[in-house]
Structure 1
Amino acid sequence: MTQDQHGLAMSGAGSAAARRYDRAIDELLHFRAEVDAEAGAALAESPDFPMGNVLAAYLGLLTTEVEDARTARVRFGAFRRRIDESRLLPRERAHLAAVGALLDGDFLTCGARLAEITVAHPRDALALAAGHQIDFFTGDARMLRDRIGGALSAWREDDPHFGHLLGMYAFGLEEAGHYDRSEEVGLRAVELNRRDVWGIHAVVHTYEMQGRFGDGLRYLDARVPDWSTGTFFNVHSWWHYCLYALEAGDVDRVLAVYDALMSDGQSCMELLDAAALLWRLHLEGSDQTVRWRALADAWPMRVAEPFYAFNDMHAVMSYVGAGRLYDAEKLIAGREAYVREPHPGVTNHDMTLRVGLPVCRAITAFGRGDYAAVVDLLYPIRHRVGEFGGSHAQRDAVQRTLLEAALRSGRHDVARVLVSERVNVRPCSPYNWLKQAALAESAGDRAAAALARRQAAALTRTALAD
């Protein structure tokens, strides 16, 4: 019997496999691609090592890539057939049950089982990391906060991964709306480990949600070497950088970053970042057809079958941006057939039915210029789009689509409500004031429009000068 670096017993692992497992957890918490090699090395040393097989399964299932999930399913099934589960430790059996739920497409049950593991074993870093990702994929802000917060008292500040726990906790605090505390905890996480990209990410999200784009640019600029290379999170970090640059009105810089670092995405995560960025430009009338065409070509194999509705939305964005409405409508038709069939316990089925399909239909309607239909589709679900995962910052693409459609369709009543909400939550956002100007202009109030535009310009100057 061996122990992992956090003092938890593990069966079926020799000392070499246990060391490789510990390294893999470290790489995972750093978001480094080496996690796959270390996990594979652990299994090469001890093929039936339960926690090694559990880790490999989570790695395959949490990429949201269909092929990765298929491979994980085959390998984990073979492992389970080789072993006597009754001889495993209770924590290991609990992980097998959590992985089993995830293999069945039941994100919610997996998350609940991982939470039970954390209650009994709050120092199980894998249960915390996997559970945190499940909470992200399901848009559960409360659990993003409390899953980690409930375990923190079992960790010491001198634990080598305490900072990573703080980084996860900071992100949960941000998604739950505790921005002051999120900034404090996130900064502390990065102080403990300057290359904690998830901690940096939490701080960046906090500034985004507060409209502090100048602070965000300065924060990222000051530590470029810490977040821009060496992890599989680089593109997403650059996406955040581009959001700040867009708020500042620097489209040239956004496109330069896109072309250099985002145009050849190799994963669903990278492709959806690229689509989400180009879609924001599309909403503002920026013609990026050439870039859209290349991006649209990368999606078909990844959305050939239903797997994660959040990915579907970004594929549809790409098809619409490229002018391939037929492909968007084909994907939607496939998902409509999918939801007509029963899929008990499959989280993506409900995500697709309740949020994914209405959003995809709305994006396609936007591409057709049917802005009234966009409003009709999105306004009723605008407060529950979190059900299909992602962060507030990512889902803002949906809210911006609704606002732009309300303005273009002449639905001034809806646009007024949406702009008022945005301005009062983030009064320092130039984008929000520019939409206030567009609303005033459409109502014929040129004086109010001019004042709003001046406010947007002043905010930009002040933020970039500080």
Structure 2
Amino acid sequence: MAKDRYGNSLHACTPEAAGHLDRAVAALLHFSPEVAPAVEDAVAAAPTSPVAQSFAAYLGLLGTEPGEAAEARRRFHHFATGTDGSALPVRDRLHMAAAGAWLAGDLKRAGAHLEELTLMYPRDALALAVGHQLDFFTGDAVRLRDRIGAALSEWDTAEPHRGMVLGMYAFGLEESGHYALAEEAGLAAVEQNPRDVWAIHAVVHTYEMQGRVADGIGYLDARLGDWADGNYLNVHNWWHYALYALEAGDTGTALRIYDAAINNEASSGLAMELLDASALLWRFHLAGIGQAARWETLADAWAARADPPYYAFNDVHAVMSYAGSGRLDAAERLVADRRQWLAKAGRGGADSVTNHRMTAEIGLPVCEALIAHARGRHRTVVELLLPLRRRFHEFGGSHAQRDAVQRTLVDSALRAGRHDLTRALISERIGLRPDSTYNWLTRADLADALGDAAQAAVARDRARTAEGSAAKALHRRPPFPPSNGPGVTGLPGGPTAPW
């Protein structure tokens, strides 16, 4: 029986197909576009391989694209109906169960199947990588950490891919608040594999969550050639760079990054990229910096997708674009459509299909809050978001991504005159990120509202200090070549910087 590079047996798989699967797993770990053709090669070489077919199903789901998911569902159903699952080895059976559960919309059950698989086969890199992403999509920070931590001891330091597993662990550590450990693990992972873009991303997150903007800018600058193009994560890592630029008070650089790397004429229109675009422009919106033309283009991109109910996190960012562009009728229509969908699903479905619960409990209230914010109904925003502020993780994403919603609550609390609430929210944020420019500027705005000129001056001085440190790092960057536009989005062309 053929085996993969990690020693796992592959049922109904030829040595040729095993080689393709190894290539596909390596590409998945590197977020390389090579993963799709490698999986297709594996399926073609071993069409009855449950692992190959499950891998193909996972690929149809990882991008949160409804059309790709529907096609993956059709293909997998055709395979599964002709396969006696009870006769399969346990590893293959669990992969099929996980793929089937996810295709049916039950992300929690899919993750549980992969966790069971990992207990028996801790060196199944495919199960670890896919399970890790499921934990991310469901916002389960503890499992994001512990799924990988439970398997890490079985990966020998001599194994070249151990660093990739360590990079996943770093992100789980970061999302669960272990920033020092996360930074250590992420740096070690990148040391083992310089082009481990997920580990680079984990390190960037640790700096973001601690307000270490200068460190983050310096780290991304130093590794520009490792992350800036040729992978599925480059747009997201450019988004992180833009967030750093905003903290440095350099809105010009943030917008140049947006135009060159995040959303432009060459952009693919994929949900994962549009999420970043919405989340960045919404920060400009909250700061009172108008971006009418960019909002219009972005709202057009979301509208062109015409997504059915699929992932509440995507819906929230689509509504963000509609609210930012003033298309409140479009935002209201999306909310009404999701309400009708929930009504048709009934109570039973809400317990079994993950996105039903995400939409009903988190997605719709957040969408309604964004619409209310655009209408200037800030008391309504507070009423909608305040009860959920410690539950936002339940509809997925990272702390950094969800911070756009947290900032919306802070902004509306201040505008609604809820000064005690605003003070508490800002106090929480400063306690966690004492060097954040945004936190101190908002504290100054609150002091102004309270008529405390002295406190406002102190807060603005702290903001200037934080901003100055970040700005120095931003302006120390090396003389990158001029932007060629598509080169920074993973299309042909070398690594470039959009300034």
Q: What TM-score, normalized by structure 1, do the two folds share?
A: 0.98
Give yes or no for the alignment of 1:452 onto 2:459.
Answer: yes
* Corresponding pairs, count: 466
Q: Partner residue of 1:436?
A: 443
One-letter amino acid of the structure 1 residue matched with residue 215 of structure 2: D
Maintained 8 Å contact 1:303/1:312: no
Q: Partner residue of 1:349?
A: 356
Q: Partner residue of 2:253?
A: 253
One-letter amino acid of the structure 2 residue matched with residue 130 of structure 1: V
> In 2, Cα distance between the equivalents of 1:177 and 1:160?
27
Q: Partner residue of 2:410?
A: 403
Q: Partner residue of 1:323?
A: 326
The CA deviation at 1:86 is 3.2
The 5-angstrom pairing of residues 104-123 of structure 1 reads: 104-123=104-123
Maintained 8 Å contact 1:174/1:206: yes
Q: Partner residue of 1:275?
A: 278
The CA deviation at 1:303 is 4.9
1:412 pairs with one of 415, 419, 441:
419
The CA deviation at 1:336 is 1.4
- Once the two structures are superposed, residues 338-382 of structure 1 have per-residue CA deviations (whole angstroms, 9 ceiling, x without a partner) of 222322410000001110011000000011111111111101110
Q: 1:301 to 1:49 in 2, by over 3 A?
A: farther
Give yes or no for the alignment of 1:374 onto 2:392.
Answer: no
Maintained 8 Å contact 1:66/1:302: no
Maintained 8 Å contact 1:303/1:311: no
Maintained 8 Å contact 1:303/1:315: no
- Once the two structures are superposed, residues 45-101 of structure 1 have per-residue CA deviations (whole angstroms, 9 ceiling, x without a partner) of 122221111100001012111001000000001111233323321110111111111
Greater shift in the superposed pair: 38-47 or 216-225: 38-47
> In 2, Cα distance between the equivalents of 1:96 and 1:301?
33
Greater shift in the superposed pair: 23-32 or 37-46: 37-46
Q: 1:225 to 1:53 in 2, by over 3 A?
A: same
> In 2, Cα distance between the equivalents of 1:301 and 1:288?
20
> In 1, Cα distance between the equivalents of 2:332 and 2:127?
39
The CA deviation at 1:301 is 4.8
Greater shift in the superposed pair: 65-74 or 45-54: 45-54
> In 2, Cα distance between the equivalents of 1:422 and 1:85?
50
> In 2, Cα distance between the equivalents of 1:355 and 1:83?
38
Greater shift in the superposed pair: 294-303 or 411-420: 294-303
Q: Partner residue of 2:341?
A: 338
| Relative contact order, higher structure (CA 8 A, sep 6+) | 2
> In 1, Cα distance between the equivalents of 2:206 and 2:166?
14
One-letter amino acid of the structure 1 residue matched with residue 25 of structure 2: I
> In 1, Cα distance between the equivalents of 2:310 and 2:380?
26
- Once the two structures are superposed, residues 375-429 of structure 1 have per-residue CA deviations (whole angstroms, 9 ceiling, x without a partner) of 1110111010100000000000010000011111211111111111111111111
One-letter amino acid of the structure 2 residue matched with residue 334 of structure 1: D
Q: Which residues of structure 1 form unaligned runs of 5+?
A: none
The CA deviation at 1:448 is 1.0
The CA deviation at 1:437 is 0.2
- Once the two structures are superposed, residues 276-326 of structure 1 have per-residue CA deviations (whole angstroms, 9 ceiling, x without a partner) of 000000100111111111111111354531110000000000011111000
2:430 pairs with one of 423, 441, 445:
423
Q: Which residues of structure 2 form unaligned runs of 5+?
A: 474-499
Q: Percent identity?
A: 56
Q: Name the SS of the counterpart of 2:194 in structure 1.
A: coil
> In 2, Cα distance between the equivalents of 1:353 and 1:84?
36
Give yes or no for the alignment of 1:290 onto 2:255.
Answer: no
Maintained 8 Å contact 2:247/2:470: no
Q: Name the SS of the counterpart of 2:352 in structure 1.
A: coil
Q: Partner residue of 2:399?
A: 392
Greater shift in the superposed pair: 204-213 or 418-427: 418-427
> In 1, Cα distance between the equivalents of 2:74 and 2:365?
33
Greater shift in the superposed pair: 342-351 or 21-30: 342-351
Q: What TM-score, normalized by structure 2, do the two folds share?
A: 0.92
One-letter amino acid of the structure 1 residue matched with residue 241 of structure 2: Y
> In 2, Cα distance between the equivalents of 1:179 and 1:452?
26
Give yes or no for the alignment of 1:242 onto 2:266.
Answer: no
Q: RMSD of the alignment, in Å?
A: 1.1
> In 1, Cα distance between the equivalents of 2:75 and 2:215?
46
2:308 pairs with one of 272, 293, 305:
305
> In 2, Cα distance between the equivalents of 1:135 and 1:52?
22
Q: Partner residue of 1:5?
A: 5
Give yes or no for the alignment of 1:358 onto 2:361.
Answer: no
> In 2, Cα distance between the equivalents of 1:370 and 1:268?
28
